[in-house]
Structure 1
Amino acid sequence: MSTRLGYLDFINCLPVYYGILEEKVGINAQIIKGFPNQLNNLLAAGDLDISPISSIEYARHQDEYLLLPDICLNSEGPVKSVVLISKFPIEMLDDKSIALPTTSATSHVLLKILLSHLNVAYEVKPAEINSMLSNSDAALLIGDDALRIRKADDLFLYDLAELWQEKTGFPIVFAVWAVRKDYVRKLSIVSPYLEIIEEIAYSLRKSLNYGLANIDKIIDRVLPEFPSVDLWDYFRNLKYKFGAREREGLLSYYDYAFRLGLCERCEELVFFQQTG
């Protein structure tokens, strides 16, 4: 049975899968595309075995998931693809309304953390800026939708990754790669089959290395969709390392989220352990 592997269908995830998509890196998995909320739901339902998910979802399912140790999607400073578009300066959003996109989870929580000192009414809507702002005072956009937005002169734009770094000093981890514990248990009945997960993790790392070495080709591939975006600058600000600072920043994010009642307490990141 082929492992069911999620693929986040935003260009920020393209470097991770580029080597696989270009058939430079082999992988023994069925790849299933989706937006963050779709992958979150598929993994939670057991319809995926391994997937990138919104980072908040790990805290919400920590008893069910293990993390792949070497990869995440993060940014330290402005990221351009997680933005708040507002009719008012951010400090004047008290007693105002904000539309949240249906595609997101991590960014919903991040915005609520950043605005926790304000009384804000949130409403989830499809990610279309004009309809979002028709009945709301501000709108959150993420991913490719955020990159495509052209802010009118009378609106204010705030980069949430930049605001998080200013608040905490940490990078913000938007997505992690998780494997279901029950899938690990199923494979561990015949222990050599755990190598399947190790091989997929290795293929993802190898594919990412290929993607990072060929950012120019990735940019050429997606430029027609984003003709007015500085894609070199965009990819320069995206990071995929899951090191000590990223892990500390993620735990800080979970602590803020827990204190707001947005997830269970999560004080430890538990990783899939390779057998070799």
Structure 2
Amino acid sequence: MLDIVIEARKAAITPGMEVRRILPFRLRRMVGPFIFMDHAGPVAIAPENISSMDVLPHPHIGLSTVSYLFGGQVMHRDSLGVEQIIRPGEVNWMTAGSGIAHSERFEDPSILAGGALEMIQTWVALPEKAEESAPSFNNYKPEELPVFTDKGVWMRLIAGNAFGLKGNVHIHSPLFYLHVVLEKDARFGLPQEHSERGIYIVKGSIEVSGTTYHAGQMLIFSKGVDPILMAKEPTTLMLLGGEPLGERFIWWNFVSSRKERIEQAKADWKEGRIILPPSDNHEYVPLPEDKSRPAGSPSPQALS
């Protein structure tokens, strides 16, 4: 049975960067350990305005951010001193753990040619034993990621395990994350070994049990339900899920199993105890005004 269909909502993370937000959703906060998902692009903006898309230094705790590009490039800088150009097909996995700050800047105007900039960013909540782990950042090249092809099907395993493939990306709990491209009329299924599974339609459309679903929708299925997906046209999908971790609280860019840890993170950022990226420390995103929003509610100002 199809548990729920989530419609992506528009959200602005900077004046020049509007995204489609999929997770969290009021009726479905997480899919396995995945607690956040944004789809940005294809971006249409004048090259002279490219700096308006920059995401200034901002903090995270208790999660891993996963940046995956279909086109363009992004410059990542973080508290560890990492400077990494993120390119299409790579996996950029930053574990915030006890606390990290990073920026994402768009420094090459050529990436806007033909609306080429397009990316997905997800957040993976950490199990309790890893929530206060040391921050880290890893970049994995496309050739390090398993790829499977069949008639009308191309699939890259971004992280975890699925369909007998096992990824090289270091993860903290059982999960899977896949980039799938289907030709028209191609059929595809879902990995059966995971408790919670979601399909996000990046572009194109699929038919499931006689109903057609379109770009911008996420379909979520429970374990034991094994639908057949048929591409109605050339289609790109992101499949994700895994084992649930239990309740998590999210406020702005902070995720934790404990409300009081969210409050501590607020104070740490406000008082400058989370270090800014050494090469990008002249400006930052200030702590948003709380407005009495409960720690368990997603802030509309959440940043990637």
Q: TM-score when scaled to structure 1? A: 0.30
The structure where strand makes up a greater share of residues is: 2
TM-score (norm 2): 0.28
Q: Which has more helix, going by share of residues?
A: 1
Q: Which has the higher contact order (CA 8 A, sep 6+)?
A: 1
